[in-house]
Structure 1
């Protein structure tokens, strides 16, 4: 079943002016001062900033984000510490998040955090269920927010926390956030030597934490509270669930060999380089994005469903993270040709229109992210009469993939060494790691870690029984266009058409399985024009297939339409009851593939997922979604379910 729609917090105040929750009948922080409580209880209670000193990475996990005050105080303390850790991860859960306007009003109470709070609000996510990853302060601060019930969120996290901030509402008002189950989840997520702190010393809280394995001690409380609670999990062995394939010992091995310089490979090169890795990037073409990633314009938007299934959640996560990534690249001075002009997804017929309305009502997402439009409303936005209504994604749009690839490679260019015009002939592994050879047997490059992001060509190096990658030929058509001509937004209905980009509309695309014809075909242009005319009746008048240009790309597909992101399997079969983590893997070999027609949707979130896995960071997606992307998942399914379609 779909997660329940989020109910945002309603701004309210107690009689003394302390922020108040009507839902829980409790204050958001001590009436003696929220900032003092943050420093005394949560920072000092966890031995911070001392404990993060000398560390490359430190992870804080909080059970209630609320106003974000604990986060801002921790961020500011980290900034003020000359001996701070290299990177600080802050992971937090919030069932009833505030909107940006309410946060701005609340944050004015702490003008000393004006710069930090403004940066936080600038990236504040769409209030949609699930994990949201925000990179701040030059990516030295990473905030991973789970919007939804903390009990569900903690069960889905893949992380190892060094310190816990237990800051839910009063156990009497919100007992679920202090339950035995939740306390066990905290212990499961603890890194070696993990500590906790909370203002609550309630007997049930102490009992539940003790039963979960924490050693506890009371300490002097803050303000009017006489006592607070500190804890430590002795002998914590880092038992938090890890992605299948394990996490490498990253420190001495932060050197990757990436094969493929399309959307997948360039995105990963940037994500690893941002973490300080050195990257060798190999591609047979003379530059990046010369294959399936070379289209004039592609669509970056989600695909909702009434049950908010894995495809729905993954496309939403990929879309939201992708647009935030583009904004970060632009803020860093890189040029990405893209526009969040909105995407109109028209229904095929009246029954589907009714289903689309039901999806919008069921998910209850913010209207700027998803709403239903009538035919008249859709026509007004498109600038052309359309036959039926459909979904409107107001924060989505089109992206020019080659410019995104170029920006990703330029962002940390000193750490990415390209090897263009070098066709891979063979891969070898020895005690030093992986080595890539060209077709003459000459070494191209080597590194400790190998990542195959080579599109359909992965089939030349990995057996189909290990990685059931298919190929889908896609042809797009390019139509002459005047600036401002219709459609003014992206329109989809069995295909897509972009607004005017560089004097052209990009429309398509065909999707032909195992068709290896690399030349554009007139019949495919005719098919694209027919789909376009069905979307926007009459817009192709006077155009013949011979009048349009286009290009062909070959997209790697997977049997279940989800990408393959993770460690490369070493076994060709496994019993259906085998845990994914128990399936043997090729040493230090990873894969990014199976993106199909959604390369833009998957590429950035998949790169962040794999880079986080390789470097040992908390993961940006829920555990069930990580498992849904594991390349070994097909080994656990009957052969009939592996047919690519």
Structure 2
């Protein structure tokens, strides 16, 4: 038995509440060094009647170090194996939401790093129990406590330490009823005592949070059958995440094998995007990059379960002015070395193994992956819950009473299910339900270069162009951004690729190289962000005068994973996780405002708002 100093008192034990449940969600306001987490994990793991899945949402101002975790784990022998598993998945110390899978993905931890009150407002979840035993919550504005009522399910429990009158009243107004409410909210609770409450909303109306992802109102699908259209990175990742959550999936692909279009390139590079203002695109790329690394480790690892190498990525500045700006960015953010390092020109050249034109960012966990092999690895892991339909074109999408029916170009039924996920890039617009999505195809030509004709670089090199280390005697360089739809190789695109590569490799001349490479078409949205979630129905009625995303009509059971542009490798796992979390009614893996930024209805909402503006 674990001693009381690191556990809740026995009469507030969570075990009776999570037993025989499909899912249980716990929000901890003060992760600290992880002692309460280890205690909860062990208690849950040792309970034969535990919930099938435990979501542990943890707020922390800054990430605990591995040393802190190790010290906490040393207190009890039983925690050593827990620490080892957690340590292997621990993220770099960067802000934002971090989703971590433990114990065969039955335990899902979401670390929320940053200001607690701000993070609290960004949570999309239905919380069964709140644990507020540390001091972090006492630094929040009292009004922030009302958010707990918006997150709580009926009869959610609240254990809170150091409760004073103003905070108690705020929680009561939010709908929490305390065991000792008869004392009229006196300050008899001391810093060491725990006040206990249950959520039973009957005091004030519930208010919607400022940022509301549509998933807060999503229908949780009890019939867990889905059709995924498209077997590239987006569709393969969707199959993998769905099956992991117990769904049965039909995968429809017009080609005879996976990853034959944009996902069919010989190599794709993966790294995050940095910015001085840490804008939504940078925050999303950080979350996607780190989540992808975790999912790939769980698949078996880069270079083992699928082809590629975590050899690092070196991103070279465009010119001296750009380098100065990036140097200032590095001094401002001071990223941890395991995430990103700024190197001057000399250091960057040494790392590259060849002179480079400027300093650059080094991402030590970055690298390259062969997308086709990754798609195959994700699909292979799905087992008999996945039924594939290769060489069949989904031409018609029909709504039935309880779901959707997919027919081919001859009108023959391929599959039916309550849920359909469009993961077929710009081809999705062939369906009437998606024809107005603002997606466009951008041509990208990659150049193949024999290893002896290009410098033998150590990491992936990128900037205005990219170059991968040799694999099976060949390097990939590129890629062009062309506005035409020519599917065959063009000399001018190859010349442009080589010229941009020569700009970042001083002294290297491409010479006369044979025309070799591959053409693919990126699916790009108008604002360069993916479209993840339920598709809007523009013909549906909206009774709200000034609607938000959650108020717009949606096609029931129809979802999209589209618009990954040039970052499909890192987008695919996170986007699939976000969508499956919405389908299952689980806590979202990212902040509410970021989920809203990816909502496919955002363009329709903007159009409706512009139409209501007075004409000039």
In the superposition, the TM-score normalised over structure 2's length comes to 0.91
Does residue 1:536 correspond to 2:498, yes or no?
no
Deviation at 1:333, TM superposition (A): 12
Match of 1:561 in 2: 528
Distance 1:451 1:464, change over 3 A: closer
Aligned partner of residue 478 in structure 1, secondary structure: strand
Q: CA deviation at 1:337?
A: 1.8
Using the alignment, how far apart are the partners of 2:215 and 2:340 within structure 1?
A: 36
Tell me whether 1:376 sits opposite 2:346 in the alignment: yes
RMSD of aligned residue pairs (Cα, Å): 2.7
How far did 1:235 drift?
4.2
Aligned pairs for 1:72-83 within 5 A: 72-83=38-49
Query: C-alpha distance in 1, partners of 2:464/2:432?
Result: 32
Equivalent residue, structure 2, for 1:158:
124
1:107-140 alpha-carbon deviations (Å, 9 max, x no partner): 2122211111111111111111100000110000
Q: Is the 8 A contact 2:176 2:197 kept in 1?
A: yes
Distance 1:44 1:149, change over 3 A: farther
Q: CA deviation at 1:297?
A: 1.1
**Could you list the runs of 5+ residues in structure 1 that have no partner in the other structure?**
1-32
Distance 1:340 1:227 in 2: 49
For the residue of structure 1 that corresponds to 2:300, the secondary structure is helix
Select the residue among 393, 407, 422 that pairs with 2:392. Answer: 422
2:377 is matched with: 407
Asked if 1:115 corresponds to 2:81, the answer is yes
- Structure 1 pair 206–638 and aligned structure 2 pair: CA distance change class (3 A): closer
CA contact (8 A) 1:247 1:615 kept: no
**How far apart are the structure 2 equivalents of 1:374 and 1:601?**
27
Alignment of 1:483-522 (within 5 A): 486-513=456-483, 515-522=484-491
Q: Determine if contact 2:124/2:216 at 8 Å carries over to the other structure.
A: no
For 2:115, the equivalent position in structure 1 comes to 149
Partner deviation per Cα, 1:226-260 (whole Å, 9 max, x = no partner)? 74211101148998866326655445221111100
Deviation of the 1:537 alpha carbon: 2.7
| Shift in Å, 1:284 | 0.4
| Offset of residue 589 of structure 1 | 0.5
- For residue 292 of structure 1, what is the aligned residue in structure 2? 262
Cα deviation digits, residues 440-473 of structure 1 (max 9, x gap) = 1111111110110001111211467731111111
**1:26-76: per-residue Cα shift (whole Å, max 9, x none)?**
xxxxxxx995144334x742x410111121100000101111111111111
Tell me the residue number matched to 1:268. Answer: 238
Measure the CA separation in 1 of the matches of 2:399 and 2:258: 26
1:542 Cα deviation from its structure 2 partner? 3.6
- Structure 1 residues 358 and 572: alpha-carbon distance in aligned structure 2, compared to 1, 3 A threshold: farther
The match for 2:148 among 171, 186, 198 is 186
1:462, 1:44 → 2: CA distance? 57
User: Which is worse superposed, 592-601 or 102-111?
Assistant: 102-111
**Change over 3 Å in CA distance of 1:559–1:278 after alignment to 2:** same
TM-fit CA distance, 1:341:
1.4
> Secondary structure of 1:65's partner?
coil
Distance in 2 between residues matched to 1:404 and 1:231, nearest whole Å: 48
Matches within 5 A, 1:383-462: 383-462=353-432
Whether 1:622 aligns to 2:591 is yes
1:216 aligns with 2:183: no
Distance across 2 between alignment mates of 1:502 and 1:192? 59
Residues 1:65 and 2:27 are matched in the alignment: no
Q: Aligned-pair distance for 1:488? A: 1.1
Residues in 1 aligned to 2:453 and 2:298: alpha-carbon distance in whole angstroms = 27
Partner deviation per Cα, 1:346-392 (whole Å, 9 max, x = no partner): 11111111111122222222122112111110111111111111211
* Bigger mean CA deviation after superposition, 100-109 or 577-586: 100-109
Alignment of 1:48-59 (within 5 A): 48-59=14-25
Partner Cα separation in structure 2 for residue 404 and residue 245 of structure 1: 28
Aligned to 2:184: none
Q: 2:327: which partner in 1?
A: 357
- Residues 488 and 500, structure 1, Cα contact 8 Å, conserved in 2: no
Tell me, in whole angstroms, the C-alpha distance in 1 between the residues paired with 2:263 and 2:49: 43
SS in 2 for 1:512: coil
Are the counterparts in 1 of residues 221 and 583 from structure 2 also a CA contact under 8 Å?
A: no
1:192 touches 1:238 (CA, 8 Å); kept in 2?
A: no
* Counterpart residue number, 2:614: none
Query: What does residue 22 of structure 1 align with?
Result: none
Residue among 236, 250, 275 paired with 1:305: 275
- What's the secondary structure of 1:566's corresponding residue? strand
